[in-house]
Chains A and B, each alone.
Chain A
């Protein structure tokens, strides 16, 4: 009697567990999804994630709450998401900054531990004050060749993607530029206006208002392709003359990530919703308004390019003396 009672109980519990497991993917999401953006509210990462959340909740059903968990170079948000159950209900609002998190020691996980969803990003451009003596990228490079460290290039905080693009240009042209970091892209733009730096490197999206207002003049894209800017004409690509800029494959991207060991059926649902969301009119409008290129990459495809980026950026930061731990010891090989 006693035996059958407890057996019954065991069966009930076991079947409940089985049912709940089986029902898992069908019920996903079973509660509101919490997306933690690593950057502060109002910036590109935050805006993109808020738009993405709106688009994806249509296709997933249920609600996606976006909040900002800032600090620690992204480590705080990553730590929070990583410590929640890996069941797809907690997302990380991510950007290219996540590719240096492991190398810088901000968090123990790296690019290989997450599944990435890249929504959009802007190409990098180098610009000067309208009255600058530099008319082309070549002018600037030659001035730096004649007098090393005399040309000051302003960009966002050290290790950020535009710092990497600026280094990519200096390295590809083999000249010694004076890289001046600012707290963000906007202060760097200001320094470009005041003449504190000779040129500014940032994304075309962030610079758009300055270019339209004629406060900054574009010299060239630090990319392989020229850019057709509405009303300003085509901005030439520095990569044509200096193809080695590709050696540092750092690009801006904004999007989100989930732990890579999330159950496969949940991943399949999120993948499908992501693909549909990329065609959402709001996402399209965001890209147009902010001059973003839409990527729409996820899974293996995204991981391949982001792993290359992680290697390149981690090692560059180590070589510059910014990162103190050798990426070797973290399992990041030299590219």
Chain B
């Protein structure tokens, strides 16, 4: 903890703060523009900052990450169109508020909530990372397999719009895509059709860019006529601290949910925001007011999606697996700079966790200052016609796919993937589990077979270790929760337990 304050002061120099300021502004712009996502911001910046020292590069990446998760709130509130999925929940109430002429109020409270969410995330990062790093020595191939499976399953059930099985199908499709290429246990080429480019497997960056950018562009261009007018008047930007203080418990709950969702591999900021919005609505005395312009809805989703960042970085540093798609890009950048997550981190980079936390702290300050400053400007930017904006997005997606491996093939890949994802989304299959499937697929596949190889074919390592048993329990639980009968049974026992407690509590 002391280290953390030390690092905050160490970062307070013109160079680091300057880089942070630029990165936060770039992040906010990326987040605010529909189609540009946090993943894209971190991906593009990691290629730009490659030549810089690791701490400057990380400052830039963290700044853009935090900025780009916060940025969508501007578009959500002013335009009613979320800048990216992470801000979609904010649009429900934020845009209603803006139409009532309270855009400034909504933006200021969203900004304050985002900054606070980031702080909750960084506290979790400091508190939980060392514990998980200690625990990481309990993670062998068997646990990595189960963790990957859990990530794909839970992402599938949380993101599917109508039925969880569609999410799982999308997840399995992602796993199939991940199996393309030379597998690393026996060196057998799978689904390569004799193409050299496919032998090395599918690169993750084109998949992310294709999956998230291209379908978004197609949808925005298709629905152009439906585009609502941007709200022009932004007044009264001073944060209302009393409104925030009234919601201190709601902020705490949203923050913890954000961190929790962040830690789970693969599930990211968008799900954190939705889950938290949903919880806030259920817990509120007046659930009907949600969706008609309730500040609580804005606070819930904006706190959670920013708290998710700290949570998503925890498994990156402890286990080397990403907690969300932008965190996957962050992990890639760490690898590029030779930072090895896990038990060796504290030896090779003793202050790394404190340093990351301090960067998050300055990023939180950054979105608070620049967020409010840019509120009026972003209204102008957002009114750029989509026919200008969307080609830029496609250009960046093409550039981003090409830049990492300098391979034209990746551009074709990105385009194909984007087209397939667009079609899938049109018939109700979510993209997130598919991308998560690609992200975690190799890990699931190779870990499973490696665990079996090590035990000479016995399934013992999956059932006689504490961590793997816990993970199996979680998987079974998450599957059971999809069944209506189980949920009803849990609801009944919940009522029964609390029904028994309530009368006993009253006299005291």
Interface residues of A (CB under 8 A from B): 40-42, 67-73, 75-76, 79, 104, 106-107, 149, 152, 157-159, 178, 180-183, 186, 189-191, 193-197, 209-210, 213, 215, 317, 321-323
Contacts and interface: CB of A to CB of B under 8 A. Distances in A.
Interface stretch (B11-19, B195-203, B271-279): B195-203
Given A75-B199, A181-B450, A190-B343, 12 more contacts: A68-B406, A72-B197, A72-B199, A73-B199, A106-B196, A106-B199, A152-B454, A180-B450, A191-B141, A213-B344, A321-B186, A323-B187
Given A213-B347, A215-B344, A178 B187 contact: no
Contact of B336 (A41, A178, A189, A196): A41
Given A42-B335, A69-B405, A183-B446, A210 B184 contact: no
Contact of B405 (A71, A75, A79): A71
Contacts of A72: 196-197, 199-200
Contacts of B139: 194
Contact of A209 (B137, B184, B187, B348): B348
Contacts of A40: 335-336
A208 to B, nearest CB: 11
6 contacts: A73-B200, A158-B185, A181-B185, A194-B137, A197-B454, A321-B186
Contact of A69 (B185, B335, B348, B406): B406
A72 B196 CA distance: 5
A196 B140 contact: yes
A195 B139 CA distance: 10
A193 B137 contact: yes
B102 interface: no
Nearest to A41: B336
B173 to A, nearest CB: 22
A260 B342 CA distance: 43
Contact of A193 (B141, B343, B405): B343
A290 to B, nearest CB: 11
Given A41-B50, A69-B405, A149 B343 contact: no
B405 A70 contact: yes
Interface of B: 50, 136-141, 182, 184-187, 196-197, 199-200, 203, 335-338, 340, 342-344, 347-348, 405-407, 442, 446, 450, 453-454, 456
Sorted from nearest, which 3 A-B pairs have the closest CB atoms?
A71-B200, A196-B140, A322-B187
A322 B406 CA distance: 28
Given A76-B197, A76-B407, A186 B340 contact: yes
B446 A79 contact: no
B221 to A, nearest CB: 32
A40 B336 CA distance: 8
Nearest to B138: A194
B372 to A, nearest CB: 38
A152 B187 CA distance: 19
Nearest to A156: B184
A73 B182 contact: yes
A189 B136 CA distance: 13
A181 B183 CA distance: 11
Contacts of B141: 191, 196
Given A72-B199, A76-B407, A178 B338 contact: no
A185 to B, nearest CB: 10
B196 A178 contact: no
B200 A42 contact: no
Given A71-B203, A152-B454, A194-B140, A158 B184 contact: yes
Contacts of B185: 158, 181
Nearest to A67: B406
A67 B402 CA distance: 13
Contacts of A197: 454
B187 A158 contact: yes
B401 to A, nearest CB: 13
A76 B196 contact: yes
A186 B336 CA distance: 14
A129 to B, nearest CB: 10
B411 to A, nearest CB: 14
Contacts of A149: 456
Contacts of B187: 104, 158-159, 317, 322-323
A196 B454 contact: yes
Contacts of A195: 140
B335 A182 contact: no
Contacts of B136: 190, 194
Given A41-B50, A69-B406, A196-B454, A75 B196 contact: yes
Nearest to B143: A194
A34 B406 CA distance: 13
Nearest to B47: A41
Contacts of A107: 196
B41 to A, nearest CB: 20
A191 B182 contact: no
Contacts of B348: 209
Nearest to B188: A322
A209 B347 contact: yes
A152 to B, nearest CB: 5
Given A71-B203, A182-B450, A196-B141, A42 B186 contact: no
B196 A79 contact: yes
Contacts of A182: 184, 450
B266 to A, nearest CB: 18
Contacts of A213: 344, 347
A14 B22 CA distance: 56
Nearest to A189: B344
A70 B343 contact: no
A326 B141 CA distance: 33
B47 to A, nearest CB: 10
Contacts of B343: 190, 193, 215
